[in-house]
Amino acid sequence: MRHAPIDPQLFKANRQRLKKLMLPNSLAVVNANDVLPTNADGTHRLCPNSDLFYLTGVEQEESILLLAPDADDDEQREILFLRETNEHLATWEGHKLTKEEARKVSGIDRVLWLSEFRPLFHRLMCECEHVYLNSNEHKRAVVEVETREARFAGDTMRRYPLHDYHRLARLMHRLRIVKSEGEVGLIRKASAITGAGFRRVLRFVRPRVNELEIEAEFAHEFIRRGGGFAYTPIIASGANACVLHYIQNDRVCRKGDLVLLDVAAGYANYNSDLTRTIPVSGRFNRRQRQVYNAVLRVLRQSIKGLAPGKKPKQWQKEGEEMIEKELVDLGLLTMRAIKRQDPENPAFRKYFMHGLGHPLGLDVHDVGFTTEPIRSGWVMTVEPAIYIKEEGLAVRLENDVLVTEKGPVDLMENIPIEAEEIEELMGR
């Protein structure tokens, strides 16, 4: 693994929290993700299952966690199953976890090979009443490929049709949206790596550099610090910045343009999420600065508005109202147009058409119940923007914020964002 070892107490505590939510006489199973194919005999690098990592810290293919808190035999209440290595695997794929290494990473005492899973699982299924099976239930997920979890759920329900089945995701969403101190520390580390990459790019950007060269500068800094891209980077100069998910990153940056950088690092599977908009020439012109400062004001106020007890939809509405006011001040909207607007399609959406922010953690768009009030321990992105297609101009700014009872904590407060600071650093 590229990251430093994580204290297994983090994963032990996560398992204990899950067990407290499970029904009496129940079991839960979490599978590793598949290693996905590319073409011919190629494969992608394994993307760890976020729930499995949250509960074990294990990042190896074919791993299975089985939890049965009320099992009669206390040695069967918490078992981690691993792919057993051999000389062939070691030669072609490299080292696989030993049982002792897995115990050290996860804090789970009983670690067995996968060959022992079926008989033990059958025995525990005969003992239990309730079964928690896992699936990807993110609202924005487009599920077209059958996952390892889906195959396991289908097979289990065919073999044992009379059990009482439950969705593990409902419990995991409730747990994962509230970050522990250890998790916040890992997000802080990812944010620090992101900040280092951004400062490097400020020294690099100038007219005639290509967007892909900027991406390469981020990659260099992230990888050398033990991180990697948290998501496919967006390096969007000029009118490209008006495309929300622009990822082509192949245009030459021109003098006088802005370049929108939605790029952040992940570390130890925990993610940060940053957006900055900077002038290719090193200085904002008058119009660019007007729009930039308008978005920055909304960012500042929206961070202040993140408070426990407030519903995300109310927070979103407050941000939209601030954007609307800024659009009027910028001459992009008139009060007459606002009064005559269709309530189902308000006028501001021409210039700001997405959410103000989202939960962040093991997934960039992390799981959680965002229909419920915000709670202390949530980490939220805050990302207001103004897109002006007719001017080929867009500004988006984004920081990551920890919600606490004492007020919001900006996890990216040390990453340059003021227009004057951006210009000064680029001028060096």
Condensed to tens digits (0 to 9), the pLDDT of residues 56-76 reads 999 999 999 999 999 999 999
Q: Which two tokens stand for residue 187?
A: 């997000």
Distance CA 230, CA 50 (A): 13
Per-residue model confidence as pLDDT tens digits over 12-41:
999 999 999 999 999 999 999 999 999 999
Q: What is the pLDDT of residue 388?
A: 98
- Residue closest to 326 by CA, chosen among 304, 306, 303, 352: 352
What is the residue-wise DSSP string for 271-313?
Answer: E---EEEEETTSS--HHHHHHHHHHHHHHHHHHHT--TT--HH
CA distances to 124, 244, 373, 414 from 5, rounded to whole Å, are 32, 36, 34, 26
Q: What is the pLDDT of residue 316?
A: 98
- For 181-427, CATH number? 3.90.230.10
Q: At what angle do helices 181-204 and 9-21 cross, to 10 degrees?
A: 120
Per-residue model confidence as pLDDT tens digits over 249-272:
999 999 999 999 999 999 999 999
Q: Which two tokens stand for residue 87?
A: 């000389």
Q: Same CATH fold, 181-427 and 9-176? A: no
Domain extents in the chain: 9-176, 181-427
Q: What is the pLDDT of residue 211?
A: 98
Q: Say whether domain 9-176 belongs to CATH 3.40.350.10.
A: yes
Q: What is the pLDDT of residue 73?
A: 95
pLDDT category at 2 given cuts 50, 70, 90 is: confident
Amino acid at the residue 178: V
CA distances to 2, 32, 410 from 144, rounded to whole Å, are 31, 18, 37
Distance CA 327, CA 321 (A): 10
Per-residue model confidence as pLDDT tens digits over 36-53:
999 999 999 999 999 999
pLDDT category at 281 given cuts 50, 70, 90 is: very high
Q: Is pLDDT above 90 for 200? A: yes
Per-residue model confidence as pLDDT tens digits over 383-417:
999 999 999 999 999 999 999 999 999 999 999 99
For the chain, give the mean pLDDT: 97
CA angle 398, 333, 280 (to 5 degrees): 40
Q: Is pLDDT above 90 for 124? A: yes
Q: Which two tokens stand for residue 124?
A: 């525990």
Q: What is the pLDDT of residue 428?
A: 83
pLDDT above 70 as % of the chain:
100
Enumerate long-range contacts of 199-204, CB under 8 Å, 24 or more apart.
199/416, 199/425, 201/261, 202/278, 202/416, 202/422, 202/425, 202/426, 203/425, 203/426, 203/428
Cβ-based neighbour number of residue 233 at 10 Å: 21
Distance CA 81, CA 62 (A): 8
- Cα Rg for the chain, rounded, in angstroms? 24
pLDDT above 90 as % of the chain:
97
Per-residue model confidence as pLDDT tens digits over 307-358:
999 999 999 999 999 999 999 999 999 999 999 999 999 999 999 999 999 9
Q: What is the pLDDT of residue 271?
A: 98
Q: What is the pLDDT of residue 143?
A: 87
C-beta of residue 360 within 8 angstroms of C-beta of residue 230 = no
pLDDT category at 1 given cuts 50, 70, 90 is: confident
